[in-house]
Amino acid sequence: MVFFQKIRGMLRLRRNDWVALVLSFMLAAAVWMIHNLSLKYTVMLSVPVSAQCSGLDGYDSQSIESERIVARFRATGFDILRDKRYSNTNPCRVRFFPEDLHLHPSGSFYMTSRDLIDYTHEIFGESAVVEYFSSDTVFFRFTPRRYKKVPVILESAVTLDPQYQLAGPIVVEPDSILVYADPLRLEHINAVHTERIWENMMTASKDGVVGLRSVSGVRFSQDQVKYTIRIQRCVERIFYLKVALENIPEGRNPVLSASQVKLVANCLFPLPQGIENDLHLYVDARDAYESGGAVALIRLKNQPPWLLSYRIEPQVITLSE
């Protein structure tokens, strides 16, 4: 009788002691589960895989349906549980490289087990080591897409420092890409626009990358293009130059109303020495007489490479005899 009383006394635990006891059991169970799931097991599993590939010319980037890949492999319990969650309605989505998908005469694409081995971790988990695949070849079907080549239009907002100007148009590379879409949608696509680039008060040339604006239901052969903005420093100079008479008709003795005019030049910096010797203004007398008037247009004979732009004031001059 005394013995049983002692046993009952030992079982009379306080409430806090019971809570500690339950938590201890739960912690032990969690440690046991984590330990077992971290061990490696050899299993045979069938995982539904949905293929994605953006480099297949003339085809959509997503496979029409998933295909089951069956393999015997070693993996941790965590990865095995993950693979068992996949189903036909929730397949494992894997992005394949286009060089690993081979076009079959039937129009579908196939992969060999040698190709699949490189995607072991994407399909079966980081810890998986494949012993063998049950099938040497797996087929995926992609929806055919029509395509055409269209130009790329750069959307830009570029401003330059007052002493700089563009050395030419902004270069886009490539300047055209392939677009893939259904025939009706493709018919109305004549160009692709980039995202807008913003450059304020530029003082140096720049190379960059800009993304393309996506279009619903349309796939591009690439998602971004390169652009090059070349700028050059310039300075304004004013020259007072003499005007020469050329091509004077026989029997004519024309005289210009002014001996010299002003040329406002936008020049490439730094300026070479003696640049004024490269500037020659002239008037074509024959052309002026044949035009039926005594007013002639003043022209620059040759534009040297350092002269970016210019204006002549006045632009015309009067001929008299």
**Shared domain check, 299 and 242:** yes
- Among 75-89, 234-248, 301-315, the minimum mean pLDDT is found in 75-89
Please tell me the pTM assigned to this model: 0.50
Same domain, residue pair 199 and 271 = no
Spatial contact of 134 and 277, defined as CB atoms under 8 Å apart: no
Per the prediction, the chain carries an average pLDDT of 83
Predicted local distance difference test score (pLDDT) of residue 293: 63
State the residue for tokens 């392939």. Answer: 178
CATH code for the domain in which residue 195 is found: 2.170.120.40
pLDDT for 24: 56
| Token pair recorded at residue 191 | 């160009």
Mean pLDDT calculated for residue range 52-62: 83
| 278 and 303 co-located in one domain | yes
In terms of domains, do 152 and 103 share one?
Answer: no
| pLDDT exceeds cutoff 60 at 53 | yes
- Whether residue 63 sits in one domain with residue 98: yes
Residues 6 or more apart whose CB falls under 8 angstroms from that of 142 comprise: 51, 53, 56, 59, 60, 61, 62, 63, 64, 108, 109
Domain of 71, CATH number, reads 2.170.120
Query: Dihedral of the CA atoms 41, 42, 45, 51 (nearest 10)?
Result: 80
Q: Which of 144, 167, 187 is the last residue of a domain?
A: 144
* Whether residues 139 and 50 fall in one domain: yes
Q: Does residue 118 sit in the same domain as residue 51?
A: yes
At 33 the pLDDT is 54
User: Of the given ranges (41-45, 215-219, 294-298, 306-310), which has the lowest mean pLDDT?
Assistant: 41-45
Last residue of a domain, one of 229, 252, 279: 229
pLDDT digits (tens, 9 = 90+) for 142-159: 988 788 899 999 999 999
Residue 253, pLDDT score: 75
Confidence bin at 112 (pLDDT 50/70/90): very high
Name the token pair of 257. Answer: 């109303």
Number of domains in the chain: 4
With H, G, I as helix, E, B as strand and everything else as coil, classify residue 144. Answer: strand
Is pLDDT at 221 greater than 80 in this prediction?
A: yes
Output DSSP code: residue 248. Answer: P
Q: Which domain holds residue 33?
A: 2-37
Percentage of the chain exceeding pLDDT 90 = 32
Mean per-residue pLDDT for 103-131? 88
Rounded distance between C-alpha atoms, residue 262 and residue 178, angstroms: 52
DSSP conformation class of 212: B
CA–CA dist 151, 175 (Å, integer): 6
d(C-alpha 298, C-alpha 315), whole Å? 6
Question: Domain holding 246: CATH number?
Answer: 2.170.120.30
The residue among 52 and 286 whose pLDDT is bigger is 52
Stretch 124-129: mean pLDDT, rounded?
81
Q: Is 196 found in the same domain as 132?
A: no
Asked whether residue 5 carries a pLDDT value surpassing 70, the answer given is no
- 291 with 199, same domain: the answer is no
212, 137: one domain: no
Question: Is pLDDT of 192 > 90?
Answer: yes
pLDDT at 15: 53
The HSE-up count of residue 58 (CA atoms within 13 Å, CB side) is 4
Tokens of 311: 């204006």
Given a cut of 90, is residue 276 above it in pLDDT?
no
pLDDT in tens, 166-185: 888 999 999 999 998 888 88
* Of 166, 200, 229, the domain-final residue: 229
- Shared-domain flag, residues 219 and 206: yes
Q: How far is the C-alpha of 225 from the C-alpha of 305, rounded, in Å?
A: 31
Model confidence at 3: pLDDT above 60: no
Instruction: For residues 68 and 113, state if they share a domain.
Output: yes
User: Which pLDDT belongs to residue 17?
Assistant: 58
